[in-house]
Chain A
C-alpha cells in the first residue's frame, strides 16, 4: 500500500515539477507563436480592427516587399558570425590551453561587459565612431578615410556593432568544447609523428566542431533578429528585418504583415535548429548556453 503510493508519487513527481514552468512556456511562448500565425492571416486596419480572413497573400506581399531586409539580415548576421569566429577561436584557444591560472580571470573579463546595458554599449559605439570622434580623425590622418568619410551610419558600423554584441556567445561555447578535449589525444597525435599543425587540424579542430557550430548558431540567430545596431549605428539603408517588424508593430500598427514577417523569420530559424538537432543533438547547444 505504502510502496504503491510511493511509486505513484515518483511517477507523478516529474510532471508536478515540470507543470508550472511548462505551463508558463506554453501559454506565453508557444500559444503566442501559434496565435501569430492567425494574426498574420487577418485583414483590416488599425482603426476598425483586424479580423481573420485567411489572407495568405500577406505572406507573399511581405516577402516580396521586404526581401531586401530579409537578405540584409542574413548577410549582416552571417558576416558578423564569421568575424566573431575569427576573433573568438584564437582567444578561446588561448584561454583553454595557454592561460594557466589566468583562465578564470579571463573568463570573468569575457562575461563582464554583459553587465553593462546592451543599449548603452551600442550608444557608446555611436560615440566612438561619431563623425567628430577621435577614431574618425585618426583614420582620416592615416588616409583610411577620406576627409568627409564616415564610420557611423554605414554598413561597416552595423556589422561591427553586431559582431561586438554577440562575440561572447561565440567565445564561450568554443572555449567549453576546447576545454573538454582530452589532452592525451593531441599528445597521441604528435607521438604518432603528426606535426603540430596536423594535430591541430586533424584532432583539435574536429573535436571543437560542436562548440563552433553551437557558437555560430547562438550568434547567428539573435543577430538575424537584431534591430538595435541597425537603428543606432546605421540608417534606413541598413535596416534589417527586425527593424521592419518593430516599426510595423509599434509605429504603423500593421499587425498582420508584422506577424507574417516574424512568422517567416521564426520558421526559417526553426528549420535550421531542427536540422542542427538531427545532426548534432541539442546537448551541445544547451550546454553552450550556460
Chain B
C-alpha cells in the first residue's frame, strides 16, 4: 500500500466518522437532556445532572396517554399491515399473473408520495364522506403507508429463498397448506419480523400523516410537536431514550436468534449461513415520518 493510498483511506475513514457523528449528534443531545436538572418549563440549556426525570417517566399524564395511543395504533396497524403485505409479497414473487408490473409500480407509489399529499388527500376523503377523524382513521392511514414497506421487505426475503426446499416438501407429499406452514413461513419469518418492526417504527414515529387524520386524538409525535411552543418536557427525552433502548434490545435479540439459526443450519448442511442484520432490512424506516 502506497502512502498516498494510506492518506486516502484515512481521509475516507475520517469523513465517514464525521458523517456518522452528524447522524448521532441530535440523538446524544436528546439522551443527555433527559438528565438535565432544568428549572421551569424549558429544557434548552444545561443546568446540571439529575435523575429526577427518570424516576417518574410516566408522571405527565397527557404525555403518557399520547404514548399509549401511539403504541396501541402501532400494534394494530402493524398486525394488519403485516398480514396484508406478506400475502401481497407472496403473490408478487411466487406467481405470474396479468397486471403484475402495474401492481408492482402501484404498491411502490405510496413510498414515493410525499407525506403531506398522503395525509391531505386522505383527510379530504374523510371530509367528503363525513367520517369523523380519530383513532380509527389514524390506524387506516398507518396501514396504508406501512403496507408497501412490508411488501418490499418480505419480498426481498422471499427472493433470496431457495424454492427447491418447498418443492421437496411437496414431493414428499405435503400439501400446499402444510408446505406453507411448515416450510415457507419459518423461512420468511425473519423477513416478516423485520417488516413488523419496521412498520411499528414508522407508525410510532409518524407525524405528518397523523396530524391530518388525528382529529382530537393525541399521539407521541403530535404531543412533541405541540409542546415545542411551551417547551418540550424532559419526560419526552426519557421516554424517547427508553424507546430507543427497547428497539436496540429487540434488534440484538433478532440478531442472536438469526445467529443461532445460522449456526444450526450450518451444522446440518455445512453451507454458509446467511446472517443478515435485521437493521439492514429496517433501513427504509422513518425519515418519512
The answer to the question of B37 belonging to the interface, with a C-beta cut-off of 8 Å to chain A, is: no
Alpha-carbon gap, A242 to B114, bound state (A): 9
Alpha-carbon gap, A221 to B24, bound state (A): 23
Alpha-carbon gap, A99 to B83, bound state (A): 37
Interface residues in A6-39 by Cβ distance below 8 A to B read: 10-11, 13-15, 17-18, 20-22, 24-25, 28-33, 35-36, 38-39
A-B contact count (CB 8 A): 297
CB of B120 within 8 A of CB of A13, answer no
**Interface stretch (choices A53-61, A83-91, A186-194):** A83-91
Which residue of chain B has the shortest Cβ distance to A232 in the bound complex?
Answer: B228
Alpha-carbon gap, A90 to B16, bound state (A): 7
What residues of chain B lie closer than 8 Å to A164, measured between beta carbons?
A: 22-23, 26
Smallest CB separation, A95 vs chain B (Å) = 7
When A113-B27, A117-B240 are in contact, do A242 and B127 touch as well, CB less than 8 Å?
no
Alpha-carbon gap, A109 to B201, bound state (A): 16
When A18-B87, A29-B109 are in contact, do A120 and B124 touch as well, CB less than 8 Å?
no
**0/1 per residue, A112-153, Cβ < 8 Å to B?**
111111111111111110101000000000000000000000
**0/1 per residue, B1-26, Cβ < 8 Å to A?**
00001000100110110011011111
Of residues A166, A249, A282, A290, which shows the largest number of chain B Cβ atoms within 10 Å of its Cβ?
A290
When A25-B144, A232-B228 are in contact, do A128 and B29 touch as well, CB less than 8 Å?
yes
The answer to the question of B288 belonging to the interface, with a C-beta cut-off of 8 Å to chain A, is: yes
Alpha-carbon gap, A222 to B285, bound state (A): 13
CB of B44 within 8 A of CB of A127, answer yes
Which of A87, A114, A266 touches B113 (beta carbons < 8 Å)?
A: A266
Smallest CB separation, B10 vs chain A (Å) = 10
The answer to the question of A205 belonging to the interface, with a C-beta cut-off of 8 Å to chain B, is: no
What residues of chain B lie closer than 8 Å to A106, measured between beta carbons?
A: 16, 20
CB of A262 within 8 A of CB of B120, answer yes
Interface residues in B204-258 by Cβ distance below 8 A to A read: 204-205, 207-208, 211-212, 220-221, 224-225, 228, 232, 236-237, 240-241, 243-244, 247-248, 251
- Which secondary structure dominates chain A's binding surface? helix
The answer to the question of B123 belonging to the interface, with a C-beta cut-off of 8 Å to chain A, is: yes
Number of chain A residues whose Cβ lies closer than 8 Å to a Cβ of chain B: 97
The answer to the question of A78 belonging to the interface, with a C-beta cut-off of 8 Å to chain B, is: no
Smallest CB separation, B136 vs chain A (Å) = 12
Alpha-carbon gap, A287 to B111, bound state (A): 12
The answer to the question of A279 belonging to the interface, with a C-beta cut-off of 8 Å to chain B, is: no
CB of B224 within 8 A of CB of A119, answer yes
**0/1 per residue, B25-66, Cβ < 8 Å to A?**
111011001000000000011000000000000000000000
CB of B124 within 8 A of CB of A269, answer no
CB of A91 within 8 A of CB of B121, answer no
Alpha-carbon gap, A132 to B269, bound state (A): 62
Binding site for B on A (CB under 8 A): 10-11, 13-15, 17-18, 20-22, 24-25, 28-33, 35-36, 38-39, 87-88, 90-91, 93-95, 98, 104, 106-128, 130, 132, 164-169, 171-172, 196, 217-218, 221-222, 224-228, 232, 241-242, 245-246, 249-250, 255, 258-259, 262, 265-266, 269-270, 273, 277, 282, 285-287, 289-290
The 7 closest A-B pairs by CB, nearest first: A225-B114, A21-B84, A124-B26, A14-B95, A17-B91, A32-B121, A114-B285
Binding site for A on B (CB under 8 A): 5, 9, 12-13, 15-16, 19-20, 22-27, 29-30, 33, 44-45, 83-85, 87-88, 90-92, 94-95, 97, 103-118, 120-125, 127-128, 140-141, 143-144, 147-149, 151-153, 155-156, 201, 204-205, 207-208, 211-212, 220-221, 224-225, 228, 232, 236-237, 240-241, 243-244, 247-248, 251, 277, 279-289
